[in-house]
């Protein structure tokens, strides 16, 4: 009887798909608007003009990396070109639209209406959503809010109705939460997954789900760019590469249409949490799941843990229990780590952070607003508070000093040409910070005048010293950048003292408590310590921690003789810098760990891009 019921359901589903009228749609990806020579823009104009000559194309899907750097001007230009299409188009962002975005991805939503879509055409559900990563370098990550949206969307789709899912990344471990998406799609009749990112036409692995990657629209080294025409029929989905100028077409792959009832007992690779069994001397006293990504370091405020999420919600948790104490909704996503200042007693404690909606907000420790300043662009940078002054940079080409009590602007430096996304540091009369405009800046903290600005010499904006929080010792500034060099800079003059790429440290450094060492997290397995000095780079030691490939900007923090840091795959490490041994390691989830907030040598607060916040405690080393 069960076999008969299953056969009947299969025939019913195939009949339903078989009744679908054949149709064609265009599949564009990786347009990278914002090219220096206008080539990307010309390629997209050509593709749009070509599609407009066709009478048999029903709609267009665009699977991310619409722009090169997610700039507002790039997004506006892309929209102007795509709006010239004579048929509907559906669009999602890629890592280039989110990772270096001056708005934290908010401008994509404002420009195109949303970063996700769901529509039904000829009985087929087309579902697409964003995949980050946002503001920080990391693996791809479908935002927690998008996962929640996907749950609600799939809930209303019958298990026999066909689904085509679209994402910028392939559904594999290039997405740190690929398994969450796949497991959800396997509960439905997912007939196909489409993606971009790889710039080539090819079939890709998505476990048992048929999956196809589409080429970049860019011409690259060829005479013209290209895109795909997708023909959907009752028995197959066929992909044809189309060149917009020569009009040449080449069929290159096809996917057989079938009713999919995925075997949920089949075993595939999933994240490994066995490291938590290996180290029994550490545990999560509590773990809290926020409703959206958390891409910042939580602050500890008296007996509270305070942070913001990508939905623009400021949340305060009880430090001891992890239970919510209060919430405050802002107007935009939060990527800014809160700064805390107490002037007098705890009742006068103030918390300051920025939002992607252009707000700089100050609240009391009970969540009641004190003041708010509106700027003309997103505020992705994290504030520093010193002696009643808030120092913070934004995406409005400005770095500001603000009176903590009144919220009044004290001064503004307007010489930036890119967004600030990190936290400044202060030494003597100077405040130091980087921006996504190739430069590290030193300002006079009393009046905001420029003392010097430093470049690592790369013309590539993506190599800017922007995500790293610099460290300072003996009037020497140390900074790392995606060019994988550690640089020592004279604090007084901004002159380069030395540079080294011996250890390939990317964007994560720290300073030892005694100031003798600069620590770096390399891009493969290793933590390295350099002696602090002005003469030459000198390695003190290297330690193979075996954390694997690594590229996220999570700073290293030493406290009470222990060195703490997080990784791209959700693991927090504590190592002994004297013996170069691992004290403990704990895997929270599979997403990027932000810079941890170390309370003391046995207790810290950690947060991950997926929105988990936890209190880790150790009963030993």
Q: Is the pLDDT of residue 4 over 50?
A: no
pLDDT at 8: 46
Q: Cα(first)–Cα(last) distance of the chain, in Å?
A: 61
Q: Which two tokens stand for residue 375?
A: 């700027």
366 backbone dihedrals φ, ψ, rounded to 5°:
-95, 5
pLDDT digits (tens, 9 = 90+) for 361-412: 999 999 999 999 999 999 999 999 999 999 999 999 999 999 999 999 999 9
Q: Which domain holds residue 92?
A: 23-256
pLDDT > 70 fraction of the chain, expressed in percent and rounded: 96
Range 542-547 average pLDDT: 98
**Domain membership flag for residue 563:** no
More confident residue, 22 or 1: 22
Q: Which residue has the tokens 């003996």?
A: 474
Name the least confident of 76-85, 105-114, 358-367, 612-621: 612-621
As a three-state string, the secondary structure of 56-93 is: CEEEEEEECCCECCCCHHHHHHHHHHHCCCCCCEEEEC
Range 457-482 average pLDDT: 97
pLDDT digits (tens, 9 = 90+) for 589-621: 999 999 999 999 999 999 999 999 999 999 876
pLDDT at 17: 57
**Domain membership flag for residue 189:** yes
**Domain membership flag for residue 395:** no
| pTM of structure | 0.94
pLDDT digits (tens, 9 = 90+) for 548-587: 999 999 999 999 999 999 999 999 999 999 999 999 999 9
Half-sphere exposure of 6 (CA within 13 A, CB side): 6
CB-based contacts of 495, cutoff 8 Å, min separation 6: 489
pLDDT at 565: 98
How far, in Å, are 23, 144, 235, 240, 387 from residue 249 at the CA level? 17, 39, 21, 6, 67
**Domain membership flag for residue 514:** no
pLDDT digits (tens, 9 = 90+) for 135-186: 999 999 999 999 999 999 999 999 999 999 999 999 999 999 999 999 999 9
Range 440-468 average pLDDT: 97
CA nearest neighbour of 413 among 384, 437, 442:
442
Question: Per this entry, what is the length of the chain?
Answer: 621
CATH number at residue 33: 3.60.21.10
pLDDT digits (tens, 9 = 90+) for 427-439: 999 999 999 999 9
Gap between the Cα atoms of 312 and 381, Å rounded: 15
Q: Is the pLDDT of residue 13 over 60?
A: no
pLDDT at 621: 65
Range 300-307 average pLDDT: 96
pLDDT at 340: 97
Strands 189-195 and 162-166: parallel
Q: Which two tokens stand for residue 83?
A: 């709006």
Give the sign of the dihedral formed by CA 122, CA 198, CA 594, CA 549: positive
Half-sphere exposure of 70 (CA within 13 A, CB side): 31
**Domain membership flag for residue 238:** yes
Confidence label for 5 from pLDDT (cuts 50, 70 and 90): very low
**Domain membership flag for residue 297:** no
Q: Is the pLDDT of residue 16 over 80?
A: no
Write the Ramachandran bin of 288: left for phi over 0, alpha for psi from -120 to 50, otherwise beta. beta
Give the sign of the dihedral formed by CA 589, CA 590, CA 595, CA 600: positive
DSSP one-letter code for 463: G
CB atoms within 10 A of CB 517: 21
**Domain membership flag for residue 561:** no
Q: Is the pLDDT of residue 6 over 60?
A: no
Q: Is the pLDDT of residue 265 over 50?
A: yes
Q: Which two tokens stand for residue 417?
A: 């040409």
Strands 612-618 and 282-289: antiparallel
Average predicted confidence (pLDDT) for the chain = 95
pLDDT at 11: 47
CB atoms within 10 A of CB 189: 23
pLDDT at 348: 80
Q: Which two tokens stand for residue 524?
A: 């493969």
Range 119-142 average pLDDT: 96
Gap between the Cα atoms of 564 and 368, Å rounded: 33
CA nearest neighbour of 138 among 100, 107, 166, 171:
100
Alpha helices in 424-468 (DSSP H): none
**Domain membership flag for residue 166:** yes
Number of domains, the chain: 1
């Amino acid at each position: 009887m069960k076999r008969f019921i299953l056969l009947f359901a299969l025939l019913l589903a195939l009949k339903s798909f078989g009744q679908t009228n054949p149709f064609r749609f265009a599949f564009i990806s990786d347009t990278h608007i914002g090219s220096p020579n206008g080539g990307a823009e010309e390629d997209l104009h050509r593709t749009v003009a070509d599609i407009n000559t066709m009478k048999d194309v029903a709609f267009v899907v665009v699977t991310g990396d619409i722009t090169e750097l997610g700039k507002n001007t790039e997004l506006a230009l892309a929209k102007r070109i795509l709006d010239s299409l004579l048929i509907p188009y559906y669009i999602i962002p890629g890592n280039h639209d989110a990772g270096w975005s001056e708005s934290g991805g908010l401008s994509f939503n404002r420009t195109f209406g949303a970063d996700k879509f769901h529509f039904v055409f000829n009985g087929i559900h087309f579902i697409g959503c964003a995949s980050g990563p946002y503001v920080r370098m990391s693996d791809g990550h479908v935002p927690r809010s998008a996962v929640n949206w996907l749950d609600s969307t799939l809930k209303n789709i019958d298990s026999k109705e066909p689904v085509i899912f679209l994402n910028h990344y392939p559904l594999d471990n290039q997405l740190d939460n690929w398994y969450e998406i796949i497991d959800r799609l396997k509960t439905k009749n997912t007939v196909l997954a489409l993606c971009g990112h790889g710039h080539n036409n090819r079939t890709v692995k998505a476990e048992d789900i048929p999956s196809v990657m589409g080429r970049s629209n860019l011409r690259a080294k060829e005479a013209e760019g290209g895109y795909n025409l997708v023909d959907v029929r009752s028995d197959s989905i066929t992909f044809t590469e189309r060149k917009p100028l020569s009009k040449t077409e080449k069929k290159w792959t096809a996917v057989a249409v079938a009713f999919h009832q995925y075997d949920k007992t089949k075993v595939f690779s999933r994240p490994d949490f066995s490291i938590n069994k290996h180290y029994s001397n550490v545990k999560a006293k509590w773990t809290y799941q926020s409703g959206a990504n958390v891409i910042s370091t939580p602050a500890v405020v008296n007996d509270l843990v305070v942070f913001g999420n990508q939905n623009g919600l400021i949340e305060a948790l009880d430090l001891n229990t992890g239970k919510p104490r209060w919430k405050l909704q802002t107007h935009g996503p939060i990527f800014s780590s809160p700064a805390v200042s107490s002037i007098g007693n705890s009742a006068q404690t103030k918390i300051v952070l920025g939002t992607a909606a252009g707000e700089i907000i100050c609240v009391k420790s009970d969540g009641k607003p004190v003041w708010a300043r509106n700027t003309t662009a997103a505020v992705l940078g994290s504030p520093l508070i010193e002696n009643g002054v808030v120092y913070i940079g934004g995406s409005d080409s400005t770095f500001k000093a603000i009176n903590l009590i009144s919220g009044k602007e004290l001064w503004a430096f307007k010489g930036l040409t890119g967004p600030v996304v990190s936290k400044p540091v202060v030494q003597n009369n100077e405040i130091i910070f980087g921006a996504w405009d190739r430069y590290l800046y030193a300002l006079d903290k009393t009046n905001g005048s420029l003392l010097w600005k430093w470049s690592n010499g790369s013309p590539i904006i993506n190599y800017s010293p922007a995500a790293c929080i610099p460290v300072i010792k003996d009037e020497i500034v140390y900074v790392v950048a995606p060019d994988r060099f550690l640089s020592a800079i004279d604090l007084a003059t901004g002159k380069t003292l030395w540079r080294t790429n011996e250890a390939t440290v990317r964007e994560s450094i720290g300073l030892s408590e005694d100031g003798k060492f600069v620590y770096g997290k390399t891009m493969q397995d290793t933590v390295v310590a350099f002696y602090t000095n002005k003469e030459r780079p000198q390695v003190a030691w290297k330690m193979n921690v075996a954390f694997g490939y690594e590229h996220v900007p999570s700073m290293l923090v030493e406290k009470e003789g222990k060195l703490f840091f997080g990784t791209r795959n959700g693991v927090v490490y504590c190592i002994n810098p004297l013996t170069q041994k691992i004290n403990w390691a704990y895997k929270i989830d599979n997403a990027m760990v932000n810079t941890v907030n170390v309370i003391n040598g046995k207790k810290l607060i950690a947060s991950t891009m997926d929105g988990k916040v936890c209190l880790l405690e150790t009963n030993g080393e």
